[in-house]
A and B are shown apart, each in its own frame.
Chain A
Amino acid sequence: QVTLRESGPALVKPTQTLTLTCTFSGFSLSTSGMCVSWIRQPPGKALEWLALIDWDDDKYYSTSLKTRLTISKDTSKNQVVLTMTNMDPVDTATYYCARIDGTYDYSNYYFDYWGQGTLVTVSS
């Protein structure tokens, strides 16, 4: 059974750095083709893809946010961590982590399992 769960602070101040952890089970990020990604959704708005890390430790970032994002993994702990620097109120959103199963096709970058999401509010 595949599960993902996001954790991190519910409230951060402007200019602070946000650190979110995705803890997953039911698959291994050391398996060829497996990836974990972060997606966010401001209240009442659309989904926005943020970052992805794959089994081979390749990392990909949103073009508009790449200077502020860092994604990393700890395979032994089944965790993926996202950091976002210089937080602003416009970054208030629900942040999701999600799995990509590219074991049969490395180009299958769609999300088959999602965490429940964690709401992060940026306010002083």
Chain B
Amino acid sequence: DIQMTQSPSSLSASVGDRVTITCRASQGISNSLAWYQQKPGKAPKLLLYAASRLESGVPSRFSGSGSGTDYTLTISSLQPEDFATYYCQQYYSTPPLTFGGGTKVEIK
């Protein structure tokens, strides 16, 4: 199975900050990567897919980049509603599918 390692596991940031979260795959995944946002007690919400494609309705302050094994989620200007936990998920080839360990974004 492809292992997904997210970093950091948590971070503290202020409103307006630029935030970057990294996801590393144990092998190349050819941009087959999705990012999700999860708030406490809620189901995850799809933010981006194919590493950099924004899901409909998601604010443009969210962006994704990367290639090969290394991918990044960036929030250009953190808003109060962005405090949440973020997960990456690889879908390279057929299942099994795997998620990263999550990054909790907290208020500084």
CA distance A115 to B32 in the complex (A): 23
B99:A111 contact, CB within 8 angstroms: no
B94:A111 contact, CB within 8 angstroms: no
B89:A110 contact, CB within 8 angstroms: yes
A110:B34 contact, CB within 8 angstroms: yes
Interface size on A, residues (CB 8 A): 23
Among A46, A111, A116, point to the contact of B101 (Cβ < 8 A): A46
Chain A, residue nearest B34 (CB) = A110
| Dominant secondary structure of chain B at its interface with chain A | loop
Residue B87 CB within 8 A of the other chain: yes
Chain B, residue nearest A52 (CB) = B95
Among B42, B55, B94, B101, point to the contact of A112 (Cβ < 8 A): B55
B102:A109 contact, CB within 8 angstroms: no
A47:B95 contact, CB within 8 angstroms: no
Measured between beta carbons, the chain A residues less than 8 angstroms from B89 are: 47, 49, 110-111
